[in-house]
């Protein structure tokens, strides 16, 4: 009887403690990028890591773009990078996408910066 009670008490730990890997892949990718280049310009959005592809701001017609998010926090060295967090973009930066395209555009004062999703490896 004691074994059954112990098993029942430990069962939730297996479901809630050991299976929570959400976010680990993007955090691993972001960590690797930061390790290779502490000055890298990237952010996490919708469980994907986006890295700048062109440092020159470009003009975009905002009417053709769809708002998909906003930077809510800025990364601090030694801490984990999380959802809607950027390494260099300031809090409040709006993020857009053209329908059907994988590129994310961050609106800055000079125009738009482009970012592409990066994968592990």
* DSSP at 21: -
| 4 belongs to a structural domain | no
pLDDT, tens digit (0-9, with 9 covering 90-100), for 54-91:
899 999 999 999 999 999 999 998 888 899 999 999 99
Residue 30 counted as domain residue: yes
Domains identified in the chain, total number = 1
What does the angle CA 37 – CA 42 – CA 47 come to, to the nearest 5 degrees?
125
Could you tell me the CATH number of the domain that includes residue 92?
2.170.150
Poorest-confidence range of 21-25, 50-54, 83-87? 21-25
The kind and range of the H/E element at 48 are strand 48-58
Q: What residue numbers bound the domain in which 106 lies? A: 23-118
- Is residue 82 assigned to a domain? yes
Evaluate whether residue 94 is within a structural domain.
yes
Flag whether 7 is in a domain.
Answer: no
pLDDT of residue 78: 83
Indicate the pTM of the whole model: 0.78
Residue 1's pLDDT band, with cuts at 50, 70 and 90, is low
Residues 6 or more apart from 108 whose CB is under 8 A from it?
Answer: 57, 89, 93
| Domain membership flag for residue 12 | no
């Amino acid at each position: 009887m004691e074994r059954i009670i112990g098993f029942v008490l430990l069962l939730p730990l297996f479901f809630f403690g050991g299976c929570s890997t959400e976010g680990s892949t993007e955090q691993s990718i972001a960590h690797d990028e930061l390790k290779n280049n502490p000055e890298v310009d990237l952010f996490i959005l919708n469980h994907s890591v986006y890295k700048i592809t062109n440092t020159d701001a470009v003009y975009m017609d905002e009417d053709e773009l769809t708002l998909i998010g906003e930077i809510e926090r800025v990364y601090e060295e030694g801490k984990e990078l999380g959802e809607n967090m950027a390494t260099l973009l300031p809090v409040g930066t709006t993020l857009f996408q053209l329908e059907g395209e994988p590129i994310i555009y961050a609106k800055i004062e000079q125009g738009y910066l482009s970012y592409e999703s990066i994968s592990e490896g």
